[in-house]
């Protein structure tokens, strides 16, 4: 990764420049049997579309706060990087009543209605499927995002020293986040090309770092597992081998 990278969006741009075809996020949900693998290029395309949705359709701007009410999931990772691309502060598990925008999953739709601003709902169904009908009070992400542009440019340059993430009661600027992610990558023994299997939830810095930021900062990739407790030990061993995992965070 580039030593001059100071925001999560910078990390993604460097990864894209280095090797767009390599895997970045491989997601498993062991409750549904879902497996999704996103290359750096595919992930970056989702981020660009989502950032365009945020900036264009939702009129989000730097300094806005977005309550992110989603579990560990590949689409949650996309939203985190999209917020960083626009300069919006992502508050993981934040109070929707205090947020300018809210993004909710099936289990948090009712809570998200407390937001008086824009509300986006994700079904979190396999293949990113849409809801049969948009939940009341929400726009369906799977309906809104496909038509967005494949390239993104912020209207205002993102300030690396502005708040980028709030998780577990801790607020981090973009620069602080990148520094922490690099330190975590080193502690986890991640090197370029490495593969980290993480089953940690996204409700703490440790979970989000292992499940996204540390691998991104190291030029590595993540095998993000949801509901891993449903997997038999021998099946987990097989996954570790088949996915060429080099480090774990469970």
Q: What's the whole-model pTM score?
A: 0.97
62-88 pLDDT per residue, tens: 999 999 999 999 999 999 999 999 999
Q: Can you give the pLDDT at residue 3?
A: 73
Rg (CA), the chain: 17
CB 58 within 8 A of CB 100: no
Summarised one tens digit per residue, pLDDT across range 183-208 is 999 999 999 999 999 999 999 999 99
Which whole number is the average pLDDT over 150-157? 96
Q: What is the DSSP letter of 158?
A: P
Cβ of 162: how many Cβ atoms within 10 Å?
Answer: 15
Res 53: pLDDT: 98
Per-residue pLDDT at 116 exceeds 70:
yes
pLDDT, mean of residues 123-138: 94
Q: What is the pLDDT of residues 100-111, one digit of tens each?
A: 999 999 999 999
H helix intervals, the chain:
8-18, 40-52, 74-86, 109-112, 141-144, 174-187, 205-208, 214-218, 233-242
Q: Name the pLDDT band for 176 (thresholds 50, 70, 90).
A: very high
pLDDT at 127: 85
For residues 22 and 37, what is the distance between their CA atoms, to the nearest angstrom? 10
Give the residue from 4, 71, 84 showing the smallest Cα distance to 44.
84
What is the model's pLDDT at position 1?
62
Secondary structure (3-state) at 103: strand
Q: How far apart are CA 95 and CA 78, in angstroms?
A: 20
- What Å distances lie between residue 43 and 49, 61, 80, 148, 199, CA to CA? 10, 22, 12, 14, 20
Mean pLDDT along residues 115-140: 95
- Which domains does the chain possess? 8-249 (3.40.50.12780)
Which residue's structure tokens are 């895997």? 23
Burial of 229 (C-beta count, 10 Å sphere; 0-12/13-18/19+): exposed
């Amino acid at each position: 990764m580039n030593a001059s990278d100071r925001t999560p969006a910078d990390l993604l741009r460097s990864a894209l420049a280095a090797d767009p075809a390599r895997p970045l996020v491989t997601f498993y949900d062991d409750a549904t049997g879902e497996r999704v693998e996103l290359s750096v290029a595919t992930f970056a395309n989702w981020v660009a579309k989502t950032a365009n949705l945020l900036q264009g359709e939702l009129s989000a701007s730097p300094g806005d706060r977005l309550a992110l009410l989603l579990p560990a999931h590949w689409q949650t990772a996309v939203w985190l990087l999209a917020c960083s691309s626009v300069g919006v502060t992502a508050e993981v598990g934040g109070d929707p009543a205090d947020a300018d925008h809210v993004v909710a999953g099936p289990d948090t739709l009712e809570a998200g209605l407390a937001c008086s601003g824009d509300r986006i709902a994700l079904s979190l169904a396999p293949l990113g499927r849409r809801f049969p009908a948009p939940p009341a009070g929400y726009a369906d992400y799977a309906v809104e995002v496909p038509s967005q542009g494949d390239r993104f440019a912020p209207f205002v340059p993102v300030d690396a020293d502005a708040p980028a993430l709030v998780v577990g009661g801790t607020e981090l600027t973009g620069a602080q986040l990148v520094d922490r992610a690099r330190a975590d990558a080193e502690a986890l023994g991640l090197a370029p090309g490495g593969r980290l299997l993480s089953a940690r939830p996204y409700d703490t810095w440790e979970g989000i770092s292992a499940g996204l930021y540390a691998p991104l900062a190291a030029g590595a990739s993540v095998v993000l597992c949801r509901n891993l407790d449903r997997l038999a030990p021998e099946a987990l061993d097989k996954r570790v081998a088949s996915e060429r995992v080099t480090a774990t965070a469970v």
